[in-house]
Amino acid sequence: SGSYDIAVIAVEWEKIPGQLAQELRTVHIDLEYWNQLKEKEVEIGLLRIDLETGEESILSGKLVRKKTAFPWGNGEEETEMAVGLESGDSGSAVFDQYGYLISMAYGTSHDIGGDRDWGIPLDEIVSNFHRIVENYLEDGHGEKRQELENAK
């Protein structure tokens, strides 16, 4: 998608292995909730999974700015957070203490402002999701349109 690195995939439920299917949970996406958030009051976190060992750990911190200018981008805004992202965390879902999706981890910067962590803001995730799905449907995948509209 545009200047944000967002992709959408569809996986048939039947193809998800049993144990993994039992562990999957619904992601709470609520733009009204996100819009009213007060940055400094929000605790956030993400689940880190070591690809070599499969060991899980929780990375937690604070939301710094819900949406702010990103100095190294192409004019897009990003979510600034303080969680200590590392290589491999990019793409991870970032949730608040109530389980609401806040951002998608993007990367880190090291500059005069210190070490900063960045993510894609929730409103951009949602708008890009809708754009990607609409493009998919317009490209001749109309048989899926009713299925997607029923899921709304």
Give the tens place of pLDDT for each residue, 121-131: 999 999 988 88
Q: Is the pLDDT of residue 145 over 60?
A: no
Question: pLDDT of 7-43, one tens digit each?
Answer: 888 888 889 888 888 888 778 899 999 999 887 779 9
Three state DSSP letters for the chain: CCCCCCCCCCCCHHHCCHHHHHHCCCCECCHHHHHHCCHHHCEEEEEEECCCCCCEEEEEEEEEEEEEECCCCCCCEEEEEECCCCCCCCCCEEEECCCEEEEEEEEEEEECCEEEEEEEEHHHHHHHHHHHHHHHHHCCCHHHHHHHHHHC
User: Confidence band (pLDDT; 50, 70, 90) for 151?
Assistant: low
1 pLDDT tier (thresholds 50, 70, 90): very low
Q: What is the pLDDT of residue 54?
A: 82
Instruction: Please determine, for residue 87, whether its predicted confidence score (pLDDT) is greater than 90.
Output: no
The pLDDT, as a whole number, for residue 18 is 87
Residue 122 vs residues 34, 55, 96, 141: alpha-carbon distances, Å: 7, 27, 12, 26
Global pTM?
0.80
Closest C-alpha among 27, 22, 24, 21 to residue 98: 27
